[in-house]
Amino acid sequence: MSETGKIDIDYVAKLARIALSEEEKAKFSDQLGSILGYVEKLEELDTEGVEATAHPYPMENVWQEDVVSSELPVEGALRNAPKQRQNMIVVPKVVE
Amino acid sequence: MSEELYYKSARELSGLLKAGEVSAVELTQSIIGRTKAVEERVGAFNSYDEGDAVSQAEASDQRRAAGETVGALDGIPVGIKDVLAVKDQPLTCSSKMLENFISPYDATCIQKLKQSGAVLWGRLNMDEFAMGSSTENSATHPTSNPWNLNCVPGGSSGGSAAAVAAGEAVLTLGSDTGGSIRQPASYCGVVGLKPTYGRVSRFGLAAFASSLDQVGPMARSVEDAALLLQAISGHDLRDSTSFRAEVPDFSKSFESLKGKKWKLGLPKEYFEKALDSAAMEPVQQAIDFYRELGCEIKEVSLPHTEYAVAVYYIIATAEASSNLARYDGIRYTHRAENFDPKDSVDVYNQSRAEGFGEEVKRRIILGTYALSSGYYDAYFLKAQKARTLIRQDFEKAYEEVDALLTPTSPSPAFEKGAKMEDPLSMYLSDIYTISANLAGIPGMSLPCGYSDGMPVGLQILGKPFREEEMLAIGQVFEDAHDFKNQHPEL
Amino acid sequence: MPTILRTNTQSYNFEGLGKMEYEAVIGLEVHVQIKAESKIFTRCRAGFGYEPNTLVDPVIMGLPGALPVMNKKALDGIIKAGLALNCRIPEVCKWDRKNYFYPDSPNNYQITQYDQPICEGGLVEIELSSDSRASMGEHKRIQLTRIHLENDVGKLNHFSEDSLVDYNRAGTSLMEIVTEPDMHSGEEAFALLTAVRQIMVYCGISDCDMEKGQMRADANISVRPVGQKELGSKIELKNLNSITGVKNGIEYEIKRQTRELKKGNTIVQATWRWDAEQGRTESMREKEDAHDYRYLPDPDLMPVRVDEEWKNRIQSEIPELPFDKQRRFFEEYDLPYTITSVLVPDRDLSDYFEAAAKQSPKMAQAIGNYVTNDLLRELSEAGQSLADCKVTAEHLLSLVSTVDKGTITKQIGKDVFLEMFKSGELADAVIERKGLKSDFDDDQVKAWCQEAIDENSKSAENFKSGNEKALNALLGPVMKKSRGKANPQTVNKLLRELIR
């Protein structure tokens, strides 16, 4: 956590797939720097041997049997699509 | 009488409907009329559909006339935070990203509301994707606090709180990830309840932070909040985090718990911080009330409180960065136009830049960073471990007491714009509410007084899956005061 | 056109490297769809060949508010696979999100298992091909690293201007079987896939139809000088969409890397794809952040605990596996390799064989011959599957017994089988109807033999003077006189007696 305040905003924005403007980058770097500075207080906390909490009330084996019971007609599924053709979503050519 | 209908309690209205003294259509018309009269100033809604509401009310009246089994909320207009999926209605999360999105399915709590006969009324404004404490982070408009239109209603369920306070709905649903029900409830002088994590299904709730989110009721009285909580609670097969716990009959438990001398804890870490003293006074008076009632008031310690905000903002933003990845310009969201994308990455980058507001971007960036290569252990894992310590604090406290009393917020509603440029100070104002989400315990805010004419909230934190106790504790206070009949002048 | 990554390392002296021997090291990631009615995290129908975007629901489309719920069948399936492939099943496994943006992934994260998979370790027995199809190839054991469960993604259809996305496949239960870098040729990789596929089909976990995308493979391939301990830089080779594609793609890539190394070039770790049409590998464009997946435990799903009882129940459902069956067939029925190698890969066919053979093990070979030759040929010509076949194992056994008793000849037996296959009649009925029984008394056969000797005295002489083959020249005419119905063994015996 030592590099706080030095968030690589370009890299993180790329990971998050958000095109940030230069102003946003400067502003966020600044603000996130101070938030991370605040968060740094966690470092002083001794968590040796403490289990991580992923769920407030952990349960196990929450499942359903393999019976079809859910559907969405294609009209419903594509109702909000920005662009569609032949009942499929159109995206710019994906370069693999 | 009709012009007053909109401020009556759900309990009373239910009786009037049953007795045939009022029809659901009349009630709904009253709500519509009130909304039209004040909405320009309050701005609680993103959208509403009068025709749809009236036809739901007509259906309710017909059910009643036909003697068909009617649910507990039959004919009562309930406003819905714009974060819950209602079939064939908009679901915008107050974001440009979903400005044209129509949900093709119902959330589980919405299905339950429909089964209870409620009239679903409008889509309530919020901070975009429930991220914020003021409802200023809405892509549509900021909502105003009905008690002072220059002030924020709190957030993120600001529209839900303001609508109830202003008589634009009898009841509303909100969602609470770090205080998003309780804090606006306190700012707007209403009751807001965040149930135990797992009590209400999250299926159909657009996720902000999955391990913290809960849907909950907002109302003008404790009893009304209980009524709505009853309608939406229960295990759901479609939510793997939904808990298989029996849901008590809350109205019955009010009776059985009446007169109980509660053991109430005051977390010392919540009271030793420099607090807005004016805001503290009503809280202190509320504590005194319980003491005089014969309850045992006891100081308890939640030693890891000081880490809660840090833990919260790591876990919530990390989960959010993943949850909000689906809003990408491809399947159903806003897609950037007027540019020539060379591939889908361009579509993502540009659509997300245009579709998300500033606070959402800030949190996604923070969460992405906290999970990125090399930082996971230092941030996310560390926060998850600290979360365990915070949970254990509450477990220990509840060995000694039945519930905790705290302020809901360090200060009453602030003026619009006051904290917009200082996210950290905005985050720090969640200090009293976020621990309940981290620990998964239920919490409720109810009005306990005023500071400079603005409502102040008392927070009651209860034991997991013991909402009935929290409600009963709240109701004793409410019964002895007249806050539920105090309405803002509009 | 993709760019070929090639870095010259001229600063090093590679003289003599051309003569160096290289070896390839290969690890596979095999994806297998688990057969189930519904998808892995929602009860929306799973399937192949449906109209685009008709197998979807709010969860599959990643709509706001949609939440995943595990499919019990998928868990049963992967536990079965793990037990069949000799994996350890830890007590608890959990779910993680692998975050990356791609249009075929509706949530832009894949639900998978990062650090606590449901199956750890494992061993797969494989058989390499031998020089001759008649003999068994070398057997090896390939180590597995792990098997985990995840959701499949949708399908992109590429056009010149844009791509179209169909989410029908998205959310299908998908296992990823990860091997150790434990193979050294395309042949071994091919054998591994074959073995895995047979086991999956045997256990009913998946049909593993590669054309339907039910089984896919990626390979990690590196090449190093023989004797070097460290692995070379690996190329992840994708798009190996058929079993032969796996073999050809890997072999091509090994040759390419070896050639590069011999030229003194280095291999840069990257992802390449196999272009089956062009018959070559090519590099894929990669994002610089492509491997920063920001894994986090999925907050929407609870962990899975697999107790002994569950494991035992699944274990009891696992049938005898192919190589075990083959070894038993050698032992119990004394079958030749050529028959077992046809029977064993097909569980139904093996069962059919065994239903007949276990009643009369001494006739097992004859039964095996009928099954692997006549039956398979007729099924294939008729375009039928074994399930459609009118000849039951019981009926086949009675036919083989009839031949064995000498009631009809072997040759006639084949004709009788054809009739049985077409009409569904029993062997006896066919024999009776067509009068095929070799029911002549020995005197009649003897008379025909004598006639044949008289007509072919020269052959008889030759046989008498020690030419064994000459007897055949007498056998033919006798069979002809009997219109094929005489028992060749009887004829043989009588001829010998008469000539002596």
Burial of residue B69 (CB within 10 Å: 0-12, 13-18, 19+) is exposed
Contacts of C157 in chain A (CB under 8 A): 88
Query: How far is residue C472's CA from residue C474's CA, in Å, rounded to a whole number?
Result: 5
CA distance B288 to chain A (A): 32
Q: Report chain B's terminal Cα–Cα distance, integer Å.
A: 18
Q: What is the tens place of the pLDDT at every residue in C78-91?
A: 999 999 999 999 99
Q: Which one of A89, A90, A95 would you mutate to disrupt binding with C, by most C Cβ within 10 Å of its Cβ?
A: A89
Query: How far is residue C107's CA from residue C62's CA, in Å, rounded to a whole number?
Result: 5
- Inter-chain residue contact C103 with A72, CB threshold 8 Å: no
Q: What is the tens place of the pLDDT at every residue in C128-162?
A: 998 888 899 999 999 999 999 999 999 999 998 89
Whether B175 is catalytic is: no
Task: Determine the 3-state secondary structure of A87 from DSSP.
Answer: coil
Query: How far is residue B96's CA from residue B114's CA, in Å, rounded to a whole number?
Result: 28
Paired with B445 in beta bridges are B192, B459
Mean per-residue pLDDT for B89-111?
A: 98
For residue A69, what is the nearest residue in chain B, using CA coordinates?
B238
CA distance A64 to chain C (A): 5
Q: Which two tokens stand for residue C130?
A: 């031998």
DSSP characters for B285-338? HHHHHHHHTTPEEEEE--TTGGGHHHHHHHHHHHHHHHHGGG-SSSSSS----S
Mean per-residue pLDDT for C376-389?
A: 93
Contacts of A71 in chain C (CB under 8 A): 44-45, 56-57
- Whether C26 and C250 have beta carbons less than 8 Å apart is answered as yes
Residue with tokens 């037990």: C83
CA distance B102 to chain A (A): 7
Query: How far is residue C473's CA from residue C450's CA, in Å, rounded to a whole number?
Result: 13
Q: Is the pLDDT of residue C8 over 70?
A: no
- Inter-chain residue contact B310 with A15, CB threshold 8 Å: no
Is A85 at the interface with chain C, CB within 8 A? yes
Residue with tokens 């969460």: B367
Q: Is the pLDDT of residue C324 over 70?
A: yes
Is A87 at the interface with chain B, CB within 8 A? no
Helix (H) / strand (E) containing B215: strand B214-219
DSSP B399: H
Residue in B205, B240, B321 nearest the CB of C301 = B240
For residue A9, what is the nearest residue in chain B, using CA coordinates?
B365
CA distance A23 to chain B (A): 12
Helix-helix angle C347-357:C393-404, to 10 degrees:
50
Q: Which two tokens stand for residue A44?
A: 């002083």
Number of neighbours of residue B431 by Cβ within 10 angstroms? 22
DSSP characters for C256-312? HHHHHHHTTEEPPPEEEEEETTTTEEEE----TTTT----EE-TTS--EE--HHHHH
Residue in B84, B325, B368 nearest the CB of C109 = B325
CA angle B56, B62, B66 (to 5 degrees): 150
For residue C208, the model assigns a pLDDT of 97
Name residues whose C-beta falls within 8 Å of residue C165's C-beta, 6 or more positions apart in sequence.
Answer: A88, A89, A90, A91, B330, B331, C103, C104, C154, C155, C156, C157
- Whether C350 and C343 have beta carbons less than 8 Å apart is answered as yes
Mean per-residue pLDDT for A38-52?
A: 94
Mean per-residue pLDDT for B93-97?
A: 98
Query: How far is residue B221's CA from residue B57's CA, in Å, rounded to a whole number?
Result: 23
CA angle B347, C150, B207 (to 5 degrees): 55
Give the start-to-end residue ranges of the domains of chain B. Answer: 2-262+403-485
For residue C475, the model assigns a pLDDT of 84
Peptide bond before residue B134 is cis, with ω within 30 degrees of 0: no
Mean per-residue pLDDT for C418-423?
A: 92
For residue C109, what is the nearest residue in chain B, using CA coordinates?
B322
Parallel, antiparallel or unpaired: strands B77-81 and B171-176: parallel
Whether B416 is catalytic is: no
pLDDT band at B102 (very low <50, low <70, confident <90, very high): very high
- Inter-chain residue contact C300 with B368, CB threshold 8 Å: no
CA proximity to C494, closest of C414, C440, C419, C425? C440
Is A92 at the interface with chain C, CB within 8 A? yes
For residue B203, the model assigns a pLDDT of 98
Domains belonging to chain A, first-starting first, are 9-44 (1.10.20)
Touching chains, B (3+ CB pairs < 8 A):
A, C
- Whether B53 and B34 have beta carbons less than 8 Å apart is answered as no
Residue in A70, A78, A89 nearest the CB of C42 = A70
- Inter-chain residue contact C63 with B85, CB threshold 8 Å: yes
| Cα→Cα distances A39→B315, C344, C375, Å | 12, 62, 73
pLDDT band at C11 (very low <50, low <70, confident <90, very high): very low
Range B2-262+403-485 classified under CATH 3.40.50.300: no
Q: Is the pLDDT of residue B227 over 80?
A: yes
- Inter-chain residue contact B319 with C299, CB threshold 8 Å: yes
Contacts of B440 in chain A (CB under 8 A): 56-57
Number of neighbours of residue B479 by Cβ within 10 angstroms? 13
Contacts of C106 in chain B (CB under 8 A): 326, 331
- Whether A81 and A74 have beta carbons less than 8 Å apart is answered as no
Q: Is the pLDDT of residue B130 over 90?
A: yes
Number of neighbours of residue B396 by Cβ within 10 angstroms? 13
| Cα→Cα distances C36→A60, B467, C42, C214, C305, Å | 22, 40, 12, 12, 21
Biggest CA-to-CA distance, chain B: 71
Mean per-residue pLDDT for C206-215?
A: 95
CA distance C81 to chain B (A): 25
- Whether B74 and B68 have beta carbons less than 8 Å apart is answered as no
CA distance A68 to chain B (A): 13
- Whether C34 and C175 have beta carbons less than 8 Å apart is answered as yes
Q: Which two tokens stand for residue B6?
A: 């909109």
- Inter-chain residue contact B85 with C302, CB threshold 8 Å: no
Whether B180 is catalytic is: yes
Rounded to two decimals, what is the model's pTM? 0.92
Is A95 at the interface with chain C, CB within 8 A? yes
In the set B103, B116, B134, B180, the catalytic residue is B180
The number of C-beta contacts closer than 8 angstroms across A and B is: 166
Q: Which one of B238, B321, B368 would you mutate to disrupt binding with C, by most C Cβ within 10 Å of its Cβ?
A: B238
pLDDT band at C6 (very low <50, low <70, confident <90, very high): very low
Is A94 at the interface with chain C, CB within 8 A? yes
| Cα→Cα distances C121→C88, C89, C141, C222, C332, Å | 6, 9, 12, 22, 32
Domains belonging to chain C, first-starting first, are 7-309 (no CATH), 320-434 (no CATH), 442-499 (1.10.10.410)
- Inter-chain residue contact B240 with C302, CB threshold 8 Å: yes
Contacts of A67 in chain C (CB under 8 A): 37-38, 43
- Inter-chain residue contact A66 with C73, CB threshold 8 Å: yes
Residues 19-38 of A with CB under 8 A from B: 19-21, 24, 28, 31-32, 34-36, 38
Burial B100-121 (b: 16+ CB within 10 A, else e): ebbbbbbbbbbbbbbebbbbbb
For residue C457, the model assigns a pLDDT of 83
Task: Determine the 3-state secondary structure of C232 from DSSP.
Answer: coil
- Inter-chain residue contact C38 with A68, CB threshold 8 Å: yes
- Whether A13 and B365 have beta carbons less than 8 Å apart is answered as yes
Residue in A72, A87, A93 nearest the CB of C58 = A72
Distance of CA C295 to the CA centre of its chain: 35
Residues 28-47 of A with CB under 8 A from C: none
Q: What is the tens place of the pLDDT at every residue in B147-191?
A: 999 999 999 999 999 999 999 999 999 999 999 999 999 999 999
- Inter-chain residue contact A88 with C54, CB threshold 8 Å: no
Q: What is the tens place of the pLDDT at every residue in B358-395?
A: 999 999 999 999 999 899 999 999 999 999 999 999 99
Share above pLDDT 70 across residues of chain C, in percent, rounded to a whole number: 95
Query: How far is residue C293's CA from residue C94's CA, in Å, rounded to a whole number?
Result: 17
Parallel, antiparallel or unpaired: strands A63-64 and C70-71: parallel
